[in-house]
């Protein structure tokens, strides 16, 4: 590790009604990988946005290479050598790889863009990074992992001195994460300063040198990664100790009836001949890498995507599900991984969202029976312990965890006995995660059956009674929780990948 | 790479459709094959094709420009009025007409890019404004441009020249082809073109790449306005008398042409040569169907179905690629 | 562009195709002479002052109307003052002007309404205030009982007949040996004035041909084919081909005109309004047959059409007479102020050609 390249001192930033950053300090040295951690809403992203000129700070100072700087937009920051690799990929799908890498600073021959030179430069860049991507390929034809590599290559090509990785591994396979780490180590060797934002504790331990933790917009502290434990970091993040142990045995009674049976389900390339059973009161974990076909299986089961074949039995009876409407009628509820797009209407109240899927039960003639609607909403706010001033609160004003509870309430109101949770805790902070877990356990113990799709190994191991592993559209394994280990799951999850 | 193959075939398909249409119409109606019919068809095509080339840019950004039809009439009215009422030299009037188009395009761009209005809404407003403005400028009165025989009617020869043996040549076609090549080059090989695609494909990413998206987004509508201005000159040369209150609906033919020619209705993809070919498909339908005896209502219905077909191809194409 | 926008676009494209169902059957207006006869020997009982509200001032069409009014006012010894909005689309402005005109309790108000439905409320005020209204240029459908005492508008049927008479006279020598084709371009088949003109032309032509012993078959647009009277099916001496474009634009009219001009047996074509006549001229630009092998007849005025009449491309054209409408508007107002019961006054269409277009009685009607 070299001398300090970047120092942020007493950075303060407020938005109307929110004190987003409260005099935060942060410093980065050359040749180090510095993790920035904190729950959602802790202020990590805001801090990085202040650094890269997307937000203007209210007070405080940024010293970069010994000089005080203030960037007014990302372009400024890029030119100075500070670049960010975003969590959401910021690639332009309709352009080629080379065009993406050099967008905003194309080589030109007179009026004309010099595409040939851009391709050559991209090749050079990829060679340096040991990445094998054709610069002429269309960006949208690449896998998520490769797109991420392009994003990194783009960042590096800016003659970057500081690179910020914002949850880079969220969408990557194990293999791709390894490649990413190799690149990061390489960059570290070249004496760049690297800021690494991630929620994945195991990655932090593997790749970073120091960890800075933020909580509620404030700086909590900085640790040397090798000298601390996972628990130390988590404690700093949440300010309390939380339970993270895996489940040791199934909670489902041996004689619990099968409520859902899926046989030979086929839907497109991503769902090939998938069969499984779900018992009453069971939490069935679906594990696998990104793109294994878990969400697609759920969507096909739910009738959201067309099926090419397969039979579905509910309580032993064969049913036809061609649309979400059919699924809901048969008591299946689906909690999408992307709540804002599919799960809830954020600009509406909790009440309106809660009864959205079951409105026909709350009608008095042509009109909505407001009082019945309110009663049921209040009941579920209480039962699910949703933190809100009242049922008329707009969902947009709730935290991620409480939004998730509203979605759960929506399906419970509809009397769904089978609930599909797709990444139930994505975007939810550690404290609220725990509550969602408790709630899921309670629902299962009350006799609801749950399919839980999750990319987090700890979540799978902690919640599931049984685990189905998928890889490239096929079911590659079924593991009882008693025998489940990370290694066993990983082995099956990568079985088909050549 | 598979996409690329597919894309080429999309434009090739439209080109084949165009040739097939011509042959079918010719087969059914011998009059359709006459040179004079071809000349008339070319005359009328110029302003639609010019509008289509211009509107392709907003379409590729995922937007739309509904003001080009009434705009074109408004600019033509303004130019013609200057000549008539103020004896303005034709060249200057043409320049002012085109600049008027650029100005309205700029207004669209500012409304959309800077003030954040949805393109549909912003250009619908300017569509109404230009429609009314044309009437106000001329006092609701049809404005004749100088005829070819008049001294200041030289601009007609931009689009059509008569040789000594009385043969007429559709010179405008050459300008159309030239402009098509230039704008295709602009789209494929300049920053402006690349950023047009970038905005349509992923605007957020374009902003985060440090591109001055606001500026380029404005320019896209300026180009659309510029071509509506050029179309105004072609309209004046062919139709001669410009009537206020007309023009609404013409933008749909131009937009329809661009979409038939493979410009993605959701933005991010399109070519200018495809746009021009697509626009000619619409023009061939409008001009050819009367020759084979389809009445007014059938013409509209068929054109509507062709558009549905084109958009469906676009949607399927997007799905397959995904 | 999102899907909604597209849906709207498609909707618009298709809706435009559906509106052209015939809404009205043609009806003949009363003969023009009867309307004019009621003013014979008219004198003003008093030095009346009238208010006139026109659609706008800026076009020469309205200048011509005012010229007719001046003439009548002088003859009758009455006065009037005229006002009008800046453009024909400033409907609200015109309604305001109309209201203030009525509030001034003049002896009568002459009105050319920009938008007939918007003035209905004002007309009720006029009834209550006892101010008689004379509608000119544009009839007002659904006017309150007792408000509009007289309507002075062009007799479109007669105008179409005038076109037929002149056109037939010019081509009748070519009829008889081989079947010949005469074309008619109507910009639509749902507006009452266009329907009347189109059918006035068709039926007059059939009548004239029959007098010479020729038969006529009518082809093309279903509305006009069905409404034509006295046509034969199948082989005939004259094929009368009626074409209507998909939209009322000059370029589509020109396409329809082109299909007729391209036919070898075509001897004459009539464009029944300014748009249709201009479309005919645009189609002729490349073919150059009008005034040579094909007789062309236009309607209304405007620079292109006037130039075509002047240089012989068109045999002539029929113009409405804003001058006469203005003239009879003042006569009707005076008679109404005198307390006379009135019938409507249809005014003639005027035939003009290269010879008479500069005449004093014609020229003022030929706006640019």
C–A contact: 3+ Cβ pairs < 8 A? no
Identify whether B193 is part of a domain.
yes
Partner-chain contact B140 C88, CB within 8 Å:
yes
Identify whether B284 is part of a domain.
no
Q: Give me the domain span that covers residue B93.
A: 32-247
CB distance from B44 to chain C under 8 Å?
A: yes
Mutate which of C4, C8, C9, C291 to test chain B, going by most B C-beta atoms within 10 A?
C9
Among C11-25, C161-175, C207-221, C274-288, which is the least confidently predicted range? C11-25
Residue B274 pLDDT exceeds 90? yes
Partner-chain contact B40 C283, CB within 8 Å:
yes
Do domains A4-238 and A258-493 share one topology? The answer is yes
pLDDT of residue B126: 95
pLDDT of residue A1: 63
Size of interface A-B (CB pairs under 8 A): 68
CATH topology of domain A4-238: Rossmann fold (3.40.50)
pLDDT of residue A239: 65
3-state percent breakdown (helix, strand, coil) of chain B, nearest 5: 75, 0, 20
For B56-106, the pLDDT digits (tens) are 999 999 999 999 999 999 999 999 999 988 999 999 999 999 999 999 999
Reported confidence tier of residue B111, pLDDT bands at 50, 70, 90: very high
Q: Which two tokens stand for residue B286?
A: 């409008």
ipTM over 0.90: no
Partner-chain contact C20 B34, CB within 8 Å:
no
What residues contact A136, with CB distance under 8 A and at least 6 apart? A96, A97, A98, A119
pLDDT of residue A265: 93
Reported confidence tier of residue A403, pLDDT bands at 50, 70, 90: confident
Partner-chain contact B239 C282, CB within 8 Å:
yes
Partner-chain contact B210 A75, CB within 8 Å:
yes
CB distance from C292 to chain B under 8 Å?
A: no
Reported confidence tier of residue C279, pLDDT bands at 50, 70, 90: very high
For chain A, which residues make up each domain, given as ranges? 4-238, 258-493
- List CB contacts (< 8 A) between A141 and chain B: 1-3, 321
Mutate which of C11, C56, C252, C255 to test chain B, going by most B C-beta atoms within 10 A?
C255
Chains in contact with A, counting 3 or more C-beta pairs less than 8 Å apart as contact: B
Instruction: Find residue A197's DSSP bridge partners.
Output: A36, A166
Find, in chain C, the residue whose alpha carbon is nearest to that of B288. Answer: C255
Size of interface B-C (CB pairs under 8 A): 152
Find, in chain B, the residue whose alpha carbon is nearest to that of A104. Answer: B211
- What would the mean pLDDT of B41-49 be, rounded to a whole number? 95
What residues contact A223, with CB distance under 8 A and at least 6 apart? A210, A211, A213, A232, A233, A236
Mutate which of A83, A94, A112, A269 to test chain B, going by most B C-beta atoms within 10 A?
A94
Q: What is the C-alpha R_g of chain A?
A: 24
Partner-chain contact B249 C285, CB within 8 Å:
no
Mutate which of C4, C5, C278, C281 to test chain B, going by most B C-beta atoms within 10 A?
C5
Reported confidence tier of residue C18, pLDDT bands at 50, 70, 90: very low
- What would the mean pLDDT of B146-169 be, rounded to a whole number? 89
On the 0-12 / 13-18 / 19+ scale of CB atoms within 10 A, A58 is middle
CB C343 within 8 A of CB C34: yes
Q: Which two tokens stand for residue B228?
A: 């509506």
Identify whether B271 is part of a domain.
no
3-state percent breakdown (helix, strand, coil) of chain C, nearest 5: 45, 15, 40
- List CB contacts (< 8 A) between A89 and chain B: 205
Which of C256, C103, C263 lies closest to C186 in space, CA to CA?
A: C256
Partner-chain contact B243 C12, CB within 8 Å:
no
Reported confidence tier of residue A418, pLDDT bands at 50, 70, 90: very high
CB distance from C310 to chain B under 8 Å?
A: no
For C117-144, the pLDDT digits (tens) are 888 999 999 999 999 999 988 888 888 8
Partner-chain contact B209 A104, CB within 8 Å:
yes
Partner-chain contact B194 A74, CB within 8 Å:
no
Q: Which residues of B touch A (CB under 8 A)?
A: 1-4, 185, 189-191, 194-195, 197-198, 200-202, 204-206, 208-211, 268-269, 321
Residue C25 sits at φ, ψ, to 5 deg, of -90, 150
Find, in chain C, the residue whose alpha carbon is nearest to that of B34. Answer: C262
- Calculate the average pLDDT of chain A: 85
Q: Which of B36, B44, B141 sits opposite C58 (nearest CB)?
A: B141
CB atoms within 10 A of CB C117: 11
pLDDT of residue C24: 26
Distance in Å, alpha carbon of B55 to nearest chain A alpha carbon:
19
Q: Residue A317 in 3-state DSSP?
A: strand
- What would the mean pLDDT of A352-379 be, rounded to a whole number? 82
Buried b (16+ CB within 10 A) or exposed e, A473-487: bbbbbebebeebeee
CB C38 within 8 A of CB C335: yes
Identify whether B290 is part of a domain.
no
CATH topology of domain A258-493: Rossmann fold (3.40.50)
Residue C165 pLDDT exceeds 50? yes
Distance in Å, alpha carbon of B262 to nearest chain C alpha carbon:
14
Q: How far apart are CA C325 and CA C364, in angstroms?
A: 12
Higher confidence at residue B306 or residue C368? B306
CB atoms within 10 A of CB A181: 16
Residue A244 pLDDT exceeds 60? no
Angle in degrees, CA A290, A295, A297, rounded to 5 = 120
Distance in Å, alpha carbon of B179 to nearest chain C alpha carbon:
23
pLDDT of residue A151: 86
Q: What residues of chain C, 126 to 165, have a C-beta less than 8 Å from chain B?
A: none
Higher confidence at residue C345 or residue A200? C345
- List CB contacts (< 8 A) between B142 and chain C: 274, 302, 368
| DSSP letter string, A213-253 | EEETTEEEEEEEGGGS-HHHHHHHHHSS----PPP-S--S-
DSSP B289: G
- Calculate the average pLDDT of chain B: 89
- What would the mean pLDDT of A354-363 be, rounded to a whole number? 80
Partner-chain contact C56 B139, CB within 8 Å:
yes
CB C110 within 8 A of CB C368: no
Reported confidence tier of residue A496, pLDDT bands at 50, 70, 90: low
Identify whether B302 is part of a domain.
no
- List CB contacts (< 8 A) between A153 and chain B: none
- List CB contacts (< 8 A) between B31 and chain C: 259, 262-263
Higher confidence at residue A338 or residue A96? A96
Q: Which of B140, B286, B291 sits opposite C259 (nearest CB)?
A: B291
Number of independent structural domains in chain B: 1
Partner-chain contact C5 B64, CB within 8 Å:
yes
Q: A258-267 and A271-279: which strand pairing?
A: antiparallel
For the CA atoms of B67, B68, B69, B75, what is the dihedral angle to 10 degrees? 100
Find, in chain C, the residue whose alpha carbon is nearest to that of B252. Answer: C9
For C350-362, the pLDDT digits (tens) are 899 999 998 877 8
Q: Which of A89, A95, A112 sits opposite B198 (nearest CB)?
A: A95
Q: Which of A75, A93, A112 sits opposite B202 (nearest CB)?
A: A93
DSSP A87: S
DSSP B291: G
For C292-308, the pLDDT digits (tens) are 999 999 998 888 899 99
**CATH numbers and ranges of domains, chain C:** 22-153+322-347 (3.40.50.2300), 156-319 (3.40.50.2300)
């Amino acid at each position: 590790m070299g001398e300090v390249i970047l120092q942020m001192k007493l950075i303060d930033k407020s938005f109307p009604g929110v004190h987003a950053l409260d005099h935060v300090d942060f410093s980065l040295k050359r040749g180090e990988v510095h993790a920035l951690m904190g729950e959602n809403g802790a202020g990590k992203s805001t801090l990085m946005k202040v650094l890269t000129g997307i937000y203007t700070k209210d007070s405080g100072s940024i010293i970069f290479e010994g000089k005080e700087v203030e960037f007014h937009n990302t372009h400024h920051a890029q030119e100075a050598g500070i670049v960010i690799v975003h969590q959401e990929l910021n690639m332009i799908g309709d352009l080629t790889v080379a065009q993406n890498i050099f967008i905003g600073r194309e080589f030109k021959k007179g009026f004309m863009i010099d595409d040939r030179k851009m391709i050559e430069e991209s090749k050079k860049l990829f060679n340096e990074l040991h990445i094998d991507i054709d610069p002429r390929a269309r960006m949208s034809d690449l896998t998520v992992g490769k797109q991420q590599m392009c994003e990194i290559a783009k960042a590096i090509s800016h003659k970057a001195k500081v690179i910020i990785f914002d949850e880079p591994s969220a969408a990557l396979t194990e293999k791709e994460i390894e490649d990413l780490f190799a690149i990061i180590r390489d960059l570290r060797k070249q004496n760049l300063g690297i800021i690494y934002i991630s929620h994945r504790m195991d990655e932090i331990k593997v790749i970073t040198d120091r960890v800075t933790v933020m909580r509620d917009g404030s700086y909590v502290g900085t640790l040397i990664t090798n000298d601390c434990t996972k628990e130390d970091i988590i404690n700093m993040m949440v300010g309390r100790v939380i339970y993270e142990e895996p489940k040791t045995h199934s909670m489902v009674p041996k004689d619990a009836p099968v409520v859902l049976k899926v046989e030979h389900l086929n839907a497109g390339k991503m769902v090939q001949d998938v069969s499984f059973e779900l018992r009453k009161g069971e939490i069935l974990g679906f594990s696998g890498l990104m793109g294994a076909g878990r969400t697609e299986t759920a969507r096909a089961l739910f009738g959201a995507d067309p099926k090419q074949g397969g039979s579905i039995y509910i309580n032993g009876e064969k049913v036809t599900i061609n649309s979400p409407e059919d699924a809901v009628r048969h008591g299946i509820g689906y909690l999408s991984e992307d709540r804002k797009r599919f799960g809830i209407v954020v600009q509406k109240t909790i009440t309106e969202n809660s009864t959205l899927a079951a409105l026909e039960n709350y009608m008095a003639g042509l009109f909505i029976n407001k009082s019945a609607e309110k009663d049921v909403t209040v009941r579920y706010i209480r039962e699910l312990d949703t933190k809100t001033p009242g049922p008329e609160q707009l969902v947009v004003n709730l935290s991620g965890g409480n939004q998730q509870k509203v979605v759960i309430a929506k399906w419970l109101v509809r009397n769904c006995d089978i609930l599909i949770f797709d990444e139930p805790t994505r975007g939810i902070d550690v404290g609220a995660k725990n509550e969602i877990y408790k709630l899921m356990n309670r629902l299962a113990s009350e006799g609801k059956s749950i399919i839980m799709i999750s990319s987090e190994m700890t979540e799978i191991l902690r919640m599931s009674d049984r685990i189905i592993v998928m890889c490239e559209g096929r079911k590659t394994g079924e593991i009882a929780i008693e025998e489940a280990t990370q290694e066993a799951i990983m082995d099956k999850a990568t079985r088909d990948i050549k | 790479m598979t996409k690329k193959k597919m894309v080429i075939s999309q434009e090739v398909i439209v080109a084949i459709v165009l040739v097939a249409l011509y042959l079918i119409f010719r087969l059914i109606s011998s009059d359709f094959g006459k040179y004079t019919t071809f000349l008339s068809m070319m005359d009328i095509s110029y302003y639609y094709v010019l509008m289509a080339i211009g509107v392709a840019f907003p379409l590729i950004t995922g937007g739309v420009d509904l003001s080009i039809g009434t705009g074109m009439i408004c600019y033509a009215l303004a130019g013609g009025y200057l000549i008539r009422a103020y004896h303005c030299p034709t060249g200057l009037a043409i320049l002012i007409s085109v600049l008027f188009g650029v100005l309205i395009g700029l207004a669209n761009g500012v409304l959309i890019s800077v003030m954040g209005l949805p393109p549909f809404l912003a250009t619908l407003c300017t569509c109404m404004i230009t429609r009314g403005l044309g009437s106000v400028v001329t006092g609701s009165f049809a404005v004749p441009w100088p005829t070819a025989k008049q001294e200041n009617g030289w601009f007609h020869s931009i689009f059509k020249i008569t040789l000594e043996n009385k043969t007429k040549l559709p010179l405008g076609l050459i300008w159309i082809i030239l402009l098509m090549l230039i704008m295709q080059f602009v789209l494929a090989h300049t920053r402006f073109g690349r950023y047009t695609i970038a905005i349509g494909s992923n605007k957020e990413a374009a902003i985060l790449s440090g591109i001055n998206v606001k500026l380029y987004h404005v320019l896209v509508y300026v180009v659309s306005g510029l071509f509506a201005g050029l179309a105004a000159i072609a309209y004046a040369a062919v139709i001669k008398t410009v009537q206020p209150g007309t023009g609404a609906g013409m933008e749909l033919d131009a937009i329809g042409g661009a979409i038939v020619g493979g410009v993605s209705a959701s933005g991010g993809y399109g070519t200018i040569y495809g746009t021009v070919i697509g626009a000619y498909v619409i023009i061939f339908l409008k001009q050819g169907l009367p020759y084979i005896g389809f009445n007014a209502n059938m013409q509209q219905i068929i054109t509507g179905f062709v558009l549905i077909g084109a958009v469906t191809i676009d949607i399927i194409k997007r799905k397959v690629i995904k | 562009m999102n899907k909604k926008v597209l849906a709207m676009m498609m909707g618009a494209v298709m809706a435009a195709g559906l509106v052209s169902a015939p809404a009205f059957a043609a009806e003949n207006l009363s003969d023009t002479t009867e309307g004019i006869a009621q003013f014979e020997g008219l004198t003003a009982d008093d030095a009346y002052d009238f208010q006139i509200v026109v659609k706008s001032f800026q076009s020469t069409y309205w200048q011509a109307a005012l010229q007719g009014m001046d003439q009548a006012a002088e003859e009758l010894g009455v006065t009037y003052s005229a006002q009008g909005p800046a453009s024909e689309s400033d409907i609200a402005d015109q309604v305001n002007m109309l209201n203030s005109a009525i509030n001034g309790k003049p002896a009568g108000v002459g009105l050319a309404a920009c938008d007939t439905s918007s003035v209905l409320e004002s007309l009720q005020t006029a009834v209550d205030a006892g101010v008689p209204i004379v509608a000119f240029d544009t009839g007002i459908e659904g006017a309150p009982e007792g408000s509009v005492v007289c309507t002075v508008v062009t007799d479109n049927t007669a105008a179409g007949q005038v076109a037929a008479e002149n056109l037939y006279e010019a081509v009748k020598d070519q009829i008889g040996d081989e079947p010949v084709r005469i074309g008619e371009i109507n910009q639509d088949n749902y507006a009452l004035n266009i329907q009347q003109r189109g059918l006035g032309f068709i039926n007059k032509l059939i009548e004239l041909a029959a007098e010479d012993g020729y038969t006529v078959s009518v082809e093309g647009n279903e509305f006009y084919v069905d409404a034509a009277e006295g046509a034969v099916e199948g082989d005939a001496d004259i094929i009368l081909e009626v074409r209507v474009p998909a939209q009322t634009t000059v370029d589509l009219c020109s396409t329809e005109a082109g299909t007729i001009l391209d036919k070898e047996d075509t001897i004459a074509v009539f464009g029944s309004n300014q748009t249709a006549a201009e479309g005919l001229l645009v189609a002729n630009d490349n073919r150059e047959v009008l005034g040579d092998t094909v007789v062309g007849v236009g309607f209304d005025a405007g620079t292109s059409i006037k130039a075509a009449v002047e240089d012989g491309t068109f045999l002539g054209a029929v113009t409405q007479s804003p001058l006469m409408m203005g003239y009879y508007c003042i006569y009707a107002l005076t008679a109404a102020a005198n307390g006379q019961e009135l019938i409507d006054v249809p005014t003639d269409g005027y035939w003009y050609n290269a010879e008479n277009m500069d005449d004093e009685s014609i020229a003022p009607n030929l706006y640019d």
